[in-house]
Structure formats: structure tokens, C-alpha cells
Chain A
Amino acid sequence: MSICTTCPYCGVGCGIKTDGVQLQGDKQHPANAGRLCVKGSSVLETLGDQDRLLQPEVNGQVVPWDYALDEVADRFRRIVDEHGPDAVAFYVSGQLLTEDYYVANKLMKGFIGSANIDTNSRLCMSSAVVAHKRAFGEDVVPGCYEDLELADLVILTGSNTAWAHPIVYQRIAAAKQARPDMKVVVIDPRRTATCDLADLHLAIRPGQDVPLFNGLLTWLDDHGALDQDYIDAHTDGFDATLNTARQQGNDWDALAEQMGVSKVDLTTFYHWFAACERTVTVFSQGVNQARNGSDQGNAIINAHLATGRVGKPGASPFSITGQPNAMGGREVGGLANQLAVHLDIDNPEHHAAVADFWQTESLAKENGLTAVDLFNAVESGQVKAVWIMATNPVDSLPEADRVRHALMACDTVVVSDCVASGDTLACADIRLPALGWGEKSGMVTNSERCVSRQRPFVKAPGNAKGDWWIVTEVARRMGYASAFPYQHEHEIFAEYSALTALAGRFGRRLDMTAAADLSADQYEQWQPQQWPLQGDPRCFGDGCFATPNGRGRFVACENPRVRQIGDAFPIILNSGRIRDQWHTMTRTGRAGRLFAHLSEPFAALHPKDIERYRLKEGGFVRLASKVGDALVRVTSDAGQRPGTAFMPMHWTDQFSRRARVDALVPARLDPHSGQPAFKHTPVNVSDWQPRWHGWLFTVAPPPAVEYWARVPVDAFLQTGQVQRYRLAGDADLTEQQLHDWMPEAAQWLALNDPATGHFRRAALDSEGRLLAWLAIGEELPLCDVEWLANCFADEADTQHLALLAGQPVDAGPDLGPVICSCFQVRQKTIEATVEEGADSVEAIGKCCQAGTNCGSCIPELRGLLETCSV
């Protein structure tokens, strides 16, 4: 029995149809119309009870739910009573469903009375939220995916769409194939996979988006390409904004030089922008994750407002979001500086209306702490209890090591998660087992405001519960039972939809009121729908905005201060996604297949920098910033700008020894959004040459060596899942260490070459099944890691020599039975010598040695002589 649900990964929000065994893209879903990327297609492989958090735990002890919920409620109650509501905080996630988000926000802001609830969306989208609110008066993405297909010019800036939003990329690619005249411009300091589609790649220097789009505004003005009527009729602030933009002048040679691109490319882009009425500018983390991320967003929107291209078919700025329900979180008020349903905390009318709706007198009156400040407050002891849901701040926040220390020192850390081990879970006093994808039920909103269901199709493992249920139970235990009467998630969704009536009352476009009276059955039957649930699927196309006067606002964007690159940290480190992994790999890291593309953490550098800093391609590099360091492999990438490096954001201490990129990133924030500047970390790089390299396959945790990187293998032993570790170290190894890294075993295969430090070990059980495999050498020992993984999975009896080799032996042609056992000469070989003219036992011996030692095979040789010469 197939169900329709939504992919758990990026903000494209693709529909999936699955029965738990087969999985395919949902052809009816408007986001993907049946397409799926590799992550989405492999999501079934990430399910299963392995490494799942199955029972609540308090201080490391498994406890019943009642006990754990009482404990959470008591601790939060006590701290709120003693230190006030701002001494507690929630840190939630774009992985939560709308219902989960809604009750968490309602509990914190509405009843505990603090706005200390922030979300990991702060890290990816909050600058876009600010840009939207400043320009449109409301955090609304005006366009929809169809605009990408209708556009004549698609600009992708700060977005490796091909890897981070593959289905959006595929839609653009298909449209371009159908209409080759359609142009694609990619703006990115890196030449990424997305550039394959580009007619023009503007590899600007990092942090140059504002000068680029200010330059565009000036160019449009110089060339009479502005939509002055639209500007006059529908916007405010244009003159000031243009004046600010013009401060950098209109010397296009100088600007191109500053950007680090050619003037031809720069003006080609401006010319295309001017010429294409139907232009969509897609922007994402590369724009948002900067110290001036909000301004970068507004600089883009300014260009669209100046040409009247907002919310029209094929013409709009288009922020695409990173997470499956970042948009839903923004809608219900998951950010510390939002109230709920796109209303503002510091607006007394909004405040009164929401307080009335929720029937509360404790509604928070001031904005709460945003993510980075929130954990600073944990560090300082101002926040004494924090509840983290479905996210991993020890890996994903800047200055990540500091975050870890802060959590370790915090009075009460509650973590709700679906996995049993993680860098944040390791800091938790109370662990609550949450439902994962495929088990939980609720709504998500994607980047084009399309609200879809996530539906369960597998049974909850152990005692795991939905996040909304956990929060509701804690709320009741804190004394707010009447405000949290929910028995089913659909009641929450209906309440939220009803609440959006307030959004409409205050001129917001967010409108879900049509779902306010949704029955449980209608909720079950819900089909993907864009909001506003009625009317035009685009917003602001009529030139009417959600600002008090209904006019769109230009925002004057100053060029960023030019920061000198110091000798101490001469490389600018950028971070981002890779194609086949998701966030901190708690899900994708369970599928060995998704490591086939990139299996180890790495830093990509331009070949010139590899040479300049005496690194070795494929070798190791130590990166150090002012706040932290990392040790990863070196990848040479001519698509990197010289002077820059790229590291994937995914690797955690669960998957490598020291590869958390955010441990390097200083907590520098956009002043308006509080979003950290992940894309611009000054670092230095140095070569690390290990004395030995190795592979280890085992179910055990990694050994304590200088470098390791883990890949799960699709094979399970009684003791757990087999893991493949790539190892390297610079301390001498002893045979005892090698022994300690391996499990108890009935049988051993061993190869020792102590003079060169080359050792191999295979541990087998009494029936010959492989339990663990190790190879150490001065160079990385050669082996076929995929074949070895199969050796763990298959019960087939593998030849011992091949096992130690770590490669299958090509058996070659069948040469028949061994005739001469002294020299291991086989029948076919002997027959061949006879056919070539050997006419006696001696002649056979001369040709192939057979029979020249013990002679016991001579009768058989004679026999072969007779039969062959017949």
C-alpha cells in the first residue's frame, strides 16, 4: 500500500511515493513531478533501527516516558520560577514539522513567556527573511518554481543548485533544453557543478554581491533600463538606494577589476538582465551566510523592484531555502524575532491579537536570543536550560568547539533526536527519542510556499514519539494543559491555520484559513497546496506589498568594508554542501552508497595554492583559523579561486577525527539577521604527512589515531554495523595496537612486513566469516574497498589470499586439476606442451617442470601423452 509523502532533505520539497520497499518520485507533486535526486532516491536505505535512540534517558539511564517528561518539565519549571523565563531556551530545527514547530513556539513564547526559541534556519535563511521583510513587509517568497521554466534569464547566485537543490536544477536544465535561448548566469566564486548549465559564470571574489548588484542598478539607470513607472507607482526609497549604489561609480573596468571578472562578462550579465523582462534571480546560502547577508539579499531584490520584476510569471527574486520545513518554521514563528504567522513581537497590536488567540497573559514581549547569542548565553550561564530538537548545534554553529564546551557546562541540556549518537547528544543530560522521517506525520512548506504532508509508513521504533507529542506533554506538565489539548497533529494544524486569520487582519499574505476547519479525514487526504490557499499562487505581482503603505521598499546597501587578508590567515575558506550528503549526516551517513561520490572530508584548493603551500593532492591539510582547526584530505580543484578553499559542511566527530568545518568559523554575524558568515573564514593551511596510512573495517569505534574517516558498510554482524575507516597517523604503531584494534576472533589471516611497516590482518569467526579487516602501510595499502564490503555482507567463502589482498583474484581460465603438485602444473598446461610438440615425459618436464621433482605424476604424464597424441 503506497503512501504519498515528502522528501526529508532540501527545501525543494519533492513528493515521494513509497510502500516502504519501493520508492519513487510522486508524479502528482508540483515540486518534482516524479523526479528525485540521489539523496531522495536512497532515503529508504537510511531507515532502520540501527543507531536509533529508542528510549528516553535521564543522565544516561533509560527511564519511562513519564519520568523523562516530568524531569524536563520540573527542571524548566524550577529554572523559570527561580531565574525568570529568559533563563530557558529552545533551539529547534527546519527538520521539524509545522505542527512540532507550532507547539514549541506556542509553549515558549506564549506560556513560558520568553522568545528564546530560535531555529537552525537562523543559519541558512534568516538574512533572506530580513531582506524579504525589509523589501516586502513580510517574509514571503514571491515566486514559484514554474517561474524558473518561464524565465528567459535565470540567475543563480550563491547557490550550487546542482548539488544542493538538484530537482530545481533539473527543472531549469530541462527548460533550457526545451528553450535553448533561455540564458543561465551563475554567480559564484567557485566553479561548481551548477556551472555546467551556465551561459555565463561570474566567478566574482567572495563577498562582492552588493557591489555587483549595486553596479547593476547603476548600469540599468545609465542605460535607461529601469521600470520608472513601476518604481514610482509601487515603491519607496529608490533615489536613496540609487545614490548609494552610484557611490561606487560607473567605471565598469574598475568594477570588473574589483570583482575579479572580465568587463565583458560583467557587462554581458548587466545587458542580459536589462534585456530579459522575464528574469528570475535564485539566491541561497552563498548570499545569506555573510556578514552583510541581508544587504546582499536586498541588493538583489532592489534590481528586481527597479525593473518591476517581482511576483510576475517568470520574473521574481527567488530565495530557495535549505531545509525541508524551514519555511514552515518561519510561518509559525520559529525564529526568536518573530511572534507567529508572520507577526511581530514588538508590535503591540500583533501581540495583543496573538495573546488573545492563545488565551495567555504570559506572551513574550521582547525578541529572544538568536542562535549564536543563545549559545553565548548558555556559555555565560544566563540560559540555564536548553532544549535542542532535531538539530546538531555542536557541529553546525560557528565556533563549534565553544558551543560544545558551553553545553557541557550547562545545567540542563535536553536533546530530542532520532539517532542514538551525535556530537550534540553527547552533551545531553536528557535524551528524548523522537520519530524520524517515515514515522512522523505532519506538514512541511517548501521554497515555493507549497504545503505538503509527510506521512508515516513504518512503525515507530522502540518508544520514539513525535516531537509535537513530546512538547505537548511537557507543556501539560508545566501547568498549561488547557492550552495544549492536542490528541492528534491535525488539531494543531487546524489551530495554526485558524491563527493565520490574524496575519490577514494585519495585511499579511500568509493565509491558511481555508484549512482552519479541516477534519482529521481531510487532513489525511491533504494534497500539496501553495499558500495563499486561494487566489494567485504568486505574491506581490500586482505591485501591492505587505508594508503599512502597501509599497515595496528599496534598501540602500553600502558596499562591504574591504577586509585586508593577513599573512597569518591568507586563505578564505568557504563551506557548503556536497551532492550526496545532508547536513550532519545523521541520515545520509547511514547509507554506504551515499559515500561513493565523496567518502572523506576534504578541502578543495586551487592547484596553484596546493603548490604554493606545499600541499599534496590527495594528501592531508591542516587548516587553522583564529578559533579552531581541522585535518582533512586535499582535493585539487581548478574551479576554486586562488586564495580560497572549500570544505564540506557535513562531517562531524561521528564521521571523522577533526573535520567539523564550523569549528573553524568565527561567530561573525549579519547585524540585521544574526546569521553567521559561514562563507568567509580566513584560515591558513599546512601540509600534514602521516607516517602511515591504513584501512580498517570493524564494528568497533575508531581507534585513537591522528586521522580517521568513517563510512558505513551495508553489512551487519551480530555486534553491529560494519564501518570502514580510512586511517592515518604519525606515531609509530606497535603490533599490540594493531591487535587492540581488532576483535576477538577464532581465525586470523596476517601479513607482516615490519621493515616497511606494512601489515594486514583479517579476523574470521570459526565458520570463516569475516569479522574485521585491517591494512597499514607507509602508503595507503591497495585494496578494493567495495569488494571488501561485500565480503562482510556475503556469506560466500572467500579465498584467504584474496581476503588479505583486499581484492578478488581474477581466476583466469580454468586450467583443470593440478597434475604435478610439486610445481603446481595443471592439466591444460601439460596438454598444451604436448600439443606444441613435447613427445616424452622429459620433454614435458623441460617445458613446464611437471614431473621433474618427485616424479609421482609421471604415470599421469604418460597417460596425457597417450591421450593427446591420439
Chain B
Amino acid sequence: MKRLVVIGNGMAACRLLEELTRLAPDLYQITVVGEEPFAGYNRVMLSPLLGGGTDEQTITTYPHQWYRDRDIRLITGSPVVEIHRHRRQVITAAGHVLGYDRLLLATGAAPRQLPVDGVALQGVMSFRDLHDVRTLLSLPAARVVVVGGGFLGLEAADALVKQGHDVTLVHSRGHLLNQQLDKAAGHRLQQDLEARGLKFAMQARTQSIEDNGHGGVAAVHLGDGHRLPADYVVQAVGIVPRTELAAQAGLTVNQGIRVDDTLQTFDPAIYAIGECVEHRQRTFGLVAPLYEQASVCASHLAELGHRRYLYADTATRLKISGIDLVSFGDFSDDGDTLQLELPGSYRRLQIRDNRIVGMVLYGDVGDSAFFENLWRNQTDISAVRATLLLGEAFCNLPGDGGDQQREVAA
């Protein structure tokens, strides 16, 4: 049997293992080395976990038994410290030396650190993994400043509010989720979250974190001079691909570990998937392309390889504190803007040449797949434009035009 070593036990890795063991159950003797001391869990579910909406057991989608059932050796809590490409070996912190015929790098990404004074103080945290969540869950009721109005920051902030903390979210831009939402939806989201007790400092740059004199946090200072008293700071200002091992092993690394369309690195024995890779100048942070990479990569590892990974723009689907959001494409003001406003829900479609080029759904996202298909297929929507925003149920209405006839028929 060939030997496969997988470095990383995150969502991409687990998905690949699932696919691979299905495609070629007897091809490899597999060893997985995870940095975290846990079996495979669903990172997307960390926010609900922090918010008290689920428990660790539920989000552990790949428990130890799952690995045992597939004869996969899982090494946790002992990260790989070195890759010897010539010897085809990896070495862990605890001294394991694991030979491989194929190596998969799924090292993921690390939270980006704020480039400000005080970032190293006790009480300045991130929100990335199960450990972070356990830490955050252990905090006494306190004043928390969350930096970053992307979805991770929002989820953390909302979950912390649910835990009883006094939370202020600092965001450097004019509206929340500025990558995913237009202004109107961003403002709605802010209002809805404010109604749940979250406070906001918008268009605010974090200048520094003030020491409380005991190595802990006293306050966050903003660029405009405001001082936000705080006991804890949670950073949610993006992620950085983890490429140290790959770089050290001499693989080509730019922003991430560079891979080709088969997810192969510079070294034909080494593959890489997930947040750690760079594919065609693109890095990744959402789960959907990771799954696709896992699927393509698994087919190659299974020696059934003919598939190629090509990035497909997909809709961003988020759920923040029960508020559904979906967006895709371009929603700059270029082209025609169609808007639908309802209590608790908002829709926007951007149309060019009678085709959907962008979408934002806020609240009721029931028709997201309908719009996404129209977008992906570049369907001409002129025939249904009048009712397009109302969704699929209203875009195939029987008796179109009949009403006018009936009105004046003598």
C-alpha cells in the first residue's frame, strides 16, 4: 500500500479523506497530522457554538471512530515541524517520522494580527478554532471590543452578545460586510444587530490597544481619538495562509502555496488544498471552493485523476444570528439596480444587458438558488423582469396580459 500523509485536519482535509476513502478505500495507508487536539469538526459551526446554539459533540462531524473505521491514523496535538522532500518524510514536534508516497498540505490559515501596539496583551484574542471558542466561553461578563465587520467578526460579536457580554464592534468601512453586501443591506444588518444589543463604531481604524497596567487590556483607541474601554479584544480582520512548512520545504509560495489545476504543488508528490493554497493568483476563505478542491484533489490521489480545479464564482451564503444573507457577483452601481424592500428582508439584483450580474439577498433568501442559476447561466431575464425580484414563484405566471383584456372586453 502507498502511504499518504495529510498535514492538517480541518474541513478541507476531512472532506478530501471522505472522498478518497470512498473512491479508493484500499489504495493508501493514511496518516493525518492535526495541530489541534481534536477530531474533525465543522469550523463553520463555531459561531453557533460560541452563541450557545449547539455543542461540541454535534459539530464534531468526524469523530475518532470515523478515522478508525477507515484505518486512518490520526495524530493530534503534535504538529509537523519539518518536511524532508528528498527523503519523503515529515517530522512532527513529538518526533514522529512519517514517510510518504504522497503528501497533502491542508495547513489552513491563521488569523491576521492587528498591526498595532498592544496586540500582544493578555486578553487580545482571535476567533479561529475550537480552542479560541473555549477561551471565549470561559470569559466572565465583560466589555469586549471585536475588531472587524466581516462575517467572522459579526458572528463572534453576536455570539458574545448572546453570552451576556457588552460588545462593541469596530469596523473600518462605512457598512458591514462590505465585501458581501451593498450599503442598504449592510445598514439593515447593522440595525438588526443593534436591536439585539450590539454596538458599533463604524469607519473606525484601530489605533492601539491600551495596557491596563497588569498586562491586560484597558481600552481600544480609535483613529479619530475615541477611546473604547474594554476588557477583551477579539481580532477578526482576516486570515493569512499558513505557508511556513511549504516554504521551508522549498515549495513555491507566494501569498499561499502555489498549486496547479490538479492541486499539485511544485513537487509532484505533494498536493495542497484549502485556505493555505494560492491557485491562479487567488486565495480562499469560504468553504465552497475548498470542498471542490478536496473533491478534485481526491480524484487525483485516487489515481482516477482527470478532473481539473477551476475556480467558479459562487454565492456567498452567511447566517448571522439567524439572519440569512446571500450575495454574489458585482453590485457596483454599474447597470440597472432592482431593489425590493420588505420588513425584515431586502433584495437587490444588478442587471446588465438583461442579465443578472450581481445579487444581494438579506433576510428571506428563499430564492437565492433561483437567482444564482439565472446568473450562472446568463439567462436573459427581460421576459420576467417585472416580477423577477419577487422570486421564482412569480416568474412563471399563467395568463400574462389576460387581465388587461378582461378589463375592457365589452
Chain B residues whose C-beta falls within 8 Å of the C-beta of A859 in the assembled complex: 58, 61
Q: Give which listed residue, A751, A780, A822, A858, contacts B389 with CB less than 8 A.
A: A751
Asked if A726 CB lies within 8 Å of chain B CBs, one says yes
The reply on B162 being an interface residue by CB < 8 A is: no
User: CA separation between A517 and B393, bound complex, in Å?
Assistant: 73
Q: Which residues of A contact B365 (CB under 8 A)?
A: 824
Which residue of the partner chain, among A782, A804, A852, A855, contacts B400 with CB atoms under 8 Å? Answer: A782
Contact B61 A598, beta carbon cutoff 8 Å? no
The answer on a CB contact under 8 Å between A782 and B397 is yes
User: Are A856 and B397 within 8 A (Cβ)?
Assistant: no
The listed residue (B288, B366, B387) touching A852 by CB distance below 8 A is B288
**Cα separation A856 to B341 with both chains bound (whole Å):** 29
Pair A801/B336 contact, Cβ less than 8 Å: no
Q: Which of B91-99, B163-171, B195-203, B401-409 contacts A (4 or more CB under 8 A)?
A: B401-409
- Residues of A near B18 (CB, < 8 A) are 842
Given contacts A600-B407, A604-B410, A756-B385, contact A824 B394 (CB under 8 A): no
Taking a contact as CB atoms closer than 8 A, the residue among A755, A785, A807, A823 that contacts B397 in the complex is A807
Asked whether, in the complex, the Cβ of A752 is within 8 Å of the Cβ of B343, the reply is no
Nearest residue (CB) in A for B409 is: A635
CA A444 to CA B407, docked complex, whole Å:
36
Question: Contacts A618-B408, A821-B324 given: A747-B336 contact, CB under 8 Å?
Answer: no
Q: How far is the CA of A304 from the CA of B275 in the complex (A)?
A: 103
Shortest distance between the CB of A593 and any CB in chain B (Å): 15
A782 contacts B403, CB within 8 Å? Answer: yes
Q: Find out whether the CB atom of B403 lies under 8 angstroms from the CB atom of A784.
A: yes
Q: Smallest CB-CB separation from B366: which chain A residue? A: A824
Contacts of B61 in A (CB 8 A): 855, 858-859
Do A805 and B390 have beta carbons less than 8 Å apart?
yes
Bin the interface of chain B by size. Answer: 35 or more
Measured CA separation A785–B410 after assembly (Å):
18
Q: Is B330 an interface residue (CB 8 A)?
A: no
For the complex, give the distance between the alpha carbons of A810 and B392 in Å.
11
Q: Is the CB of B340 within 8 A of A751?
A: yes
Find out whether the CB atom of A749 lies under 8 angstroms from the CB atom of B403: no
Cβ distance B201 to chain A, nearest Cβ, rounded Å: 29
Assuming A635-B408, A753-B338, A800-B343, is B385 touching A856 (CB within 8 A)? no
A interface residues, tally (CB under 8 Å): 53
Q: How far is the CA of A748 from the CA of B291 in the complex (A)?
A: 41
Q: B404: which A residues are within 8 A, CB to CB? A: 618, 780
Smallest distance from the beta carbon of A399 to chain B beta carbons, Å? Answer: 27
Chain A, range 632-651, C-beta contacts under 8 Å to B:
633-635, 637
Kindly report which residue of chain B lies nearest to residue A598, judged by CB atoms: B410
Let me know if A243 is at the binding interface, CB within 8 A.
Answer: no
The answer to whether A753 touches B336 (Cβ under 8 A) is yes
**Interface check B337, CB cutoff 8 A:** yes
Known pairs A800-B343, A801-B393; A637 contacts B410 (CB<8 A): yes
A746 closest partner in B (C-beta)? B343
A783 at interface by CB-CB < 8 Å: yes
Neighbouring A residues of B312 by C-beta, 8 Å: none
Q: Across the interface, which residues of A come within 8 angstroms of B364, CB to CB?
A: 801
Contact B393 A810 (CB under 8 A): yes
Asked if B42 is at the interface (CB within 8 A of a chain A CB), the reply is: yes
Q: Beta-carbon contacts of B42-76 to A below 8 Å, as 1s and 0s?
A: 10110010000000001001000000000000000
Closest to A841 in B: B18
- Find chain B residues with CB under 8 A from A800 CB: 342-343, 345
> Is A42 interfacial (CB-CB < 8 Å)?
no
A314 interfacial by beta-carbon distance below 8 Å: no
Contact present for A821 and B391 (CB under 8 Å): no
Chain B residues 362-400 with CB under 8 Å of chain A are 364-369, 385-387, 389-391, 393-394, 397, 400
**What are 22 contact pairs spanning A and B, CB under 8 A?**
A598-B410, A599-B407, A600-B407, A635-B409, A635-B410, A726-B407, A747-B343, A749-B341, A751-B338, A751-B340, A753-B389, A758-B386, A782-B386, A801-B394, A802-B394, A804-B340, A804-B342, A809-B393, A853-B288, A854-B44, A855-B61, A856-B48
Enumerate chain B interface residues (CB-CB to A < 8 A). Answer: 11, 18-19, 22, 42, 44-45, 48, 58, 61, 287-288, 291, 317, 319, 324, 336-343, 345, 351, 364-369, 385-387, 389-391, 393-394, 397, 400-401, 403-405, 407-410
The 3 A-B pairs at the shortest CB distance, nearest first, are namely A755-B336, A809-B393, A750-B341
